[in-house]
């Protein structure tokens, strides 16, 4: 790996929490698609499958910021382990109810409980911010590395989840995802030396981190972006099934993530100057434009190429988003702020996967790609309209992203 990445992983404990974060994030790419695959295998109902995945995502959207707010106040170990236990019990109930063909409402109840899963990615990024908060270049590289890890997760996860559920038994994908979640969170929270220092309640004045206008724009646009991601997953599984190669959906989705992974790795080597908010708007627009070829998809090879190209804009946009969040929210609310972006994605995934499932049931898989096309257009429109509201938090005023001063470094060391 090139020297900027080698440099950031020289920090004590960084390799350990990054590895734990990778393991704990695998369910992010495995659980939703695993539920879609499991339910479609057991019932043949893509509408129900998409609705269950949407229910879990919406629940995560409600619970995630609250869990992260508690993490900012009490610390990762004290909060993540109980929250993960609740999610694991719910996943177990979901698998049993699906296998035993219990009434549909039980599936929705357990799917909602599974949404208590913590945002492991936000926890890991908060640890990077605690180490490199006063060094913008190193933090940019660290966020890029995390984005690459995210995409590796989305390469490996769907292959494991869909592959196991189709080749072994329908519940295998979500079951393995739950095992990864338990192991990853336990390993991460066992690493106390790199855990960010909790901030007492007194430092959390002013209400939620979402009161930041800039964060509101990011979260709103990420709702549409999540709809794009969620709908692509559901429609791709359905399209592969129509083509007679359902298991190939995992490979096609892996190609999508591979494009983002490669772009993120390159982006981490760059030290770009200028307005990051403008780069963010351009990235969102690029994602929207990349949805156009999907409307012409006719076979799996063409779909794989189109998704690879579409993936190239994802990681750079995500990296820029995390850098903007670090500017827009106070440090005492950083984990919560990062989780709100995940929440926006989760809400979007819920809406997109549900809408895509109904469109596929009504008009076929090819027609389903209109859903990510519309979502991309809405994301671009939101980014344009919200650009003027992208301003740093008051404590960040006068602190540039490329030349953070020594005061910030000292404050971070104390924190």
Question: By mean pLDDT, which of 9-13, 80-84, 109-113, 160-164 is the weakest?
Answer: 160-164
Range of the domain at 279: 14-197+208-398
Mean pLDDT of 230-246: 86
| Structural domains of the chain, count | 1
For residue 123, tell me if it sits in a domain: yes
CATH number of the domain bearing residue 42 = 1.20.1250.20
Query: How does DSSP assign 184-240, residue by residue?
Result: HHHHHHT--TTSPPP--GGG-TTS-GGGSHHHHHHHHHHHHHHHHHHHHHHHHHHHH
Mean pLDDT of 162-187: 90
Task: State the pLDDT at residue 206.
Answer: 57
pLDDT for 39 beyond 80: yes
Half-sphere exposure of 104 (CA within 13 A, CB side): 10
Task: State the pLDDT at residue 214.
Answer: 79
For residue 92, tell me if it sits in a domain: yes
8 A C-beta contact, residue 134 and residue 326: no
For residue 145, tell me if it sits in a domain: yes
Residues above pLDDT 70, as percent of the chain = 91
Q: What is the pLDDT of residues 132-148, one digit of tens each?
A: 877 878 888 888 888 88
Can you tell me whether residue 291 is helix, strand or coil?
coil
For residue 405, tell me if it sits in a domain: no
Tokens representing 380 are 């671009």
Q: What is the pLDDT of residues 270-309, one digit of tens each?
A: 777 777 888 899 999 999 999 999 988 888 889 999 999 9
Mean pLDDT of 381-400: 67
Task: State the pLDDT at residue 225.
Answer: 92
For residue 131, tell me if it sits in a domain: yes
pLDDT for 408 beyond 70: no
For the whole prediction, is pTM greater than 0.95?
A: no
For residue 243, tell me if it sits in a domain: yes
């Amino acid at each position: 790996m090139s020297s900027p990445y080698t440099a950031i992983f020289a920090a004590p404990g960084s390799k350990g929490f990054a590895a734990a974060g990778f393991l704990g994030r695998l369910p992010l790419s495995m659980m939703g698609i695993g539920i879609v695959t499991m339910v479609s295998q057991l019932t043949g109902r893509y509408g129900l499958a998409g609705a269950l995945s949407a229910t879990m995502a919406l629940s995560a959207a409600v619970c995630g910021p609250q869990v992260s707010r508690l993490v900012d106040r009490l610390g990762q170990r004290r909060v993540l382990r109980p929250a993960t236990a609740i999610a694991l019990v719910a996943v177990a109930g979901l698998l049993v109810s699906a296998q035993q063909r219990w009434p549909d409402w039980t599936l929705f109840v357990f799917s909602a409980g599974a949404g208590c899963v913590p945002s492991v990615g936000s926890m890991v990024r908060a640890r990077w911010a605690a180490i490199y908060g006063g060094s913008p270049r190193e933090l940019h590289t660290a966020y890029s590395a995390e984005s690459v890890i995210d995409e590796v997760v989305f390469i490996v996860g769907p292959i494991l989840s869909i592959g196991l559920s189709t080749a072994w038994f329908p519940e295998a994908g979500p079951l393995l995802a739950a095992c990864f979640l338990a192991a990853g969170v336990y390993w991460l929270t066992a690493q106390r030396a790199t855990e960010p220092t909790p901030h007492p309640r007194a430092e959390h004045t002013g209400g939620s981190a979402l009161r930041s206008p800039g964060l509101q724009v990011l979260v709103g646009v990420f709702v549409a972006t999540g709809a794009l991601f969620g709908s692509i997953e559901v429609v791709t599984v359905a399209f592969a099934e129509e083509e007679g190669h359902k298991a190939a959906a995992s490979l096609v989705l892996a190609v999508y993530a591979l494009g983002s992974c490669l772009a993120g790795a390159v982006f981490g080597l760059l030290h770009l100057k200028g307005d990051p908010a403008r780069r963010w708007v351009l990235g969102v627009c690029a994602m929207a434009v990349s949805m156009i070829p999907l409307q012409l998809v006719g076979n799996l090879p063409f779909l794989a190429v189109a998704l690879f190209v579409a993936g190239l804009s994802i990681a750079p946009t995500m990296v820029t988003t995390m850098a903007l969040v670090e500017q827009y929210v106070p440090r005492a609310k950083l984990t919560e702020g990062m989780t709100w972006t995940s929440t926006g994605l989760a809400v979007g995934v819920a809406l997109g996967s549900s809408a895509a499932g109904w469109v596929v049931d009504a008009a076929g898989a090819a027609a389903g790609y209109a859903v990510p096309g519309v979502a991309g257009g809405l994301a671009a429109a939101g980014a344009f309209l919200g650009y003027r509201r992208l301003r740093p938090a008051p404590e960040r005023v006068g602190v540039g992203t490329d030349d953070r001063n020594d005061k910030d470094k000292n404050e971070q060391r104390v924190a």
